[in-house]
Structure 1
Amino acid sequence: MKLLRAGLAALTLVALGACTTAPSRAPAPAAAAVAAVEAAPPAHDNLNATLWMQSSAEYAATARGIYAAAKRSLDQALEDPNWNALPRGESMSGFESKPPAIIADADETLIDNSAFQARAVIEDRGYTRESWVEWVQARDARAIPGAVEFAQYADSRGVTIFYVTNRDAPDEYEATVANLRKLGFPVAADASNVLLRGDARAPAREKGERRRYVDRSYRVVQMFGDNLGDFLDGINSDVATRQQLMAPYADWWGVRWFMLPNPTYGSWPNAVLRGCEKDTNPRACLRSALRHDY
């Protein structure tokens, strides 16, 4: 209802601006529209993104296509003992003789938290730690289309999946394990293949240390995520630096590395914000980054 009222208010202001008869002081129609949008509370930025993930055939088809490609690639990887998916420099020598493993993020990679995002849109609020923990404890996340089928196929081929997620240990550990099992993802009896942020075995905040922990005993043949930090460390930088980090791995995407689409949140908005002055309004900064002059 709040969003509806805001939209109606914006439309009313636009109409009034367009119909004004004051000759020289009236803004141009385009300027009036901009003024109306700025004056009214904007619709929640996640509305279209969350709807797309929840209801579009296009999103489901994209996710299923990614996991279908990953299945074909996995077959190839298992036949090649030299195949390794860790970033260059992270893998120890001698990986060729180790059993195969996959490293996968959880949220928006294997499991779908769009209901949590939808609640924030409906309530017209941002992220809070309290609301997120409540959602995690409910254990109600669904599976991303195609994810369970792929994970079970990998398990049938003798591949161990390590769930390397930035959910926080120990507070979210038990609920995360339960949710993964509930959906049918293969989890070890002792849940040792679930590595949350802060895990005592590899407590660093970035995921590189957890990747190297897996590398001690396994050959990592694939990685999955929805954020650049699921594949590389050092991604909390500006747009240009992130592009440079990706450049050496251009031919790995869709072969060794698989990125799931997530327009609702991630590290990418902060990369854009780094390009603006410190006191710039964040929304104005993001708008200024839009390109319209190709």
Structure 2
Amino acid sequence: MIKSLPVLLGTLLLLCGCASQAPHSAAPASTATAAAPAATVSADDNLNAVAWTQTALEHDLIYQETFRSAQSQLLMALKDKNWDALPSEDRVTPYKNLKPAVILDIDETVLDNSPYQARLIRKGGEFNEADWAAWCKEERARAMPGAVAFTQFAAKHGIAVIYISNRAQDLDAATLSNLRKVGLPVSSPDAFLGLGTLLPGCDQVGTEKNCRRQLVGQHYRVLMQFGDQLGDFVTVFANTATGRAQAMAPYKDWIGTRWFVLPNPTYGSWEPALFNNEWSMPRDQRHQQKIQALRIE
């Protein structure tokens, strides 16, 4: 009798436990399995792009790889008197006997403006000229990995380093100061051709750089060009997928030899091409247009 008591007590406790759980197990399945509502998070199209730009080692390695590859080929290009990196439509002056030069874009090519993009994300805002100008005037943009070593190498070998940028003319002084602060060679103010630079007789389309490339071509044989946008190399008349491909098609063999394209997932002409270049479209509609542009197979 004493030996069976623990068994009896255990059975009673088990039955009590089952009874206490019965209301929960008997609840409707929909109630029992309902998950807590997911937290609402406002999507930011640029968050991952800026995070990658600022934190991914792969970003820095791509820049270093690109500039090192260019440097390894630069002296060979210098010796080849038939070597020129201007597109045919911009080479309006014969390059024979001209001094050598390289052309580089500034923003996201030799200077890193990702802190400005990060500020926009934290504020939930979008690009505007006033905030952009204020950032440029801080003169705090860092040099992109490999840019200083390459440009100093070029300058050391008598190759002019020319910067073509779409920064507004009132940012010229701040831009030149920022370039010098990080060690990028600037031979004179003429080495920087900003948005206000004009070439008589040349019709500039919007912010396209064709006239400024032609201006450089009047004085230099261009060995290489560097940029993060197609417009840094060639004029893109129609900013659509087809128009962009057509502009680049004649020069694909130049990639990695005469032209060096750097990654910029944070902004650029590639983005408005996804929503018909209609910046007046509300932000959420632009977001949906970009989603629709994604390939799923």
TM class, shorter-chain normalised? Answer: 0.7 to 0.9
Asked if residue 95 in structure 1 is aligned to residue 95 in structure 2, the reply is: yes
Deviation at 1:236, TM superposition (A): 4.5
> What is the aligned-residue identity percentage?
39
Asked if residue 289 in structure 1 is aligned to residue 296 in structure 2, the reply is: no
Distance 2:265 2:198 in 1: 31
Structure 1 partner of 2:21: none
Residue pair 2:274, 2:290 contacting (<8 A) in 1 also: yes
Deviation at 1:109, TM superposition (A): 0.2
Alignment deviations for residues 13-43 of structure 1 (CA, whole Å, 9 cap, x no partner): xxxxxxx949xxxxxx9xxx9xx89xx4523
Distance 1:137 1:160 in 2: 25
Q: Which has the larger radius of gyration?
A: 2
Structure 2 partner of 1:243: 245
Residue pair 1:73, 1:256 contacting (<8 A) in 2 also: no
Residue pair 1:104, 1:161 contacting (<8 A) in 2 also: yes
Alignment of 1:19-168 (within 5 A): 21=30, 40=40, 42-168=42-168
Distance 1:111 1:186 in 2: 13
Distance 1:194 1:134 in 2: 20
Match of 1:255 among 254, 257, 279: 257
Residue pair 2:81, 2:96 contacting (<8 A) in 1 also: yes
Deviation at 1:255, TM superposition (A): 0.5
Structure 2 partner of 1:232: 234
Deviation at 1:124, TM superposition (A): 1.6
Residue pair 1:273, 1:285 contacting (<8 A) in 2 also: yes
Mean Cα deviation higher: 263-272 or 120-129 = 120-129
The amino acid that maps onto 1:148 is V
Distance 1:134 1:275 in 2: 26
SS of alignment partner, residue 224 of structure 2 = strand
Structure 2 residue runs without a partner (length 5+): 1-28
Distance 1:179 1:265 in 2: 21
SS of alignment partner, residue 96 of structure 1 = coil
Distance 1:45 1:284 in 2: 11
Structure 2 partner of 1:14: none
The amino acid that maps onto 2:212 is R
The amino acid that maps onto 1:237 is N
Deviation at 1:201, TM superposition (A): 4.9
Residue pair 2:198, 2:211 contacting (<8 A) in 1 also: no
Structure 1 partner of 2:186: 187
Deviation at 1:121, TM superposition (A): 1.2
Distance 1:118 1:90 in 2: 36
Structure 2 partner of 1:206: 208
Asked if residue 218 in structure 1 is aligned to residue 217 in structure 2, the reply is: no
* RMSD of aligned residue pairs (Cα, Å): 2.4
Deviation at 1:279, TM superposition (A): 6.9
Residue pair 1:273, 1:286 contacting (<8 A) in 2 also: yes
Distance 1:252 1:201 in 2: 26
TM-score by length of 2: 0.81
The verdict on how the C-alpha distance between 1:173 and 1:201 changes in structure 2, with shifts beyond 3 A counting, is farther
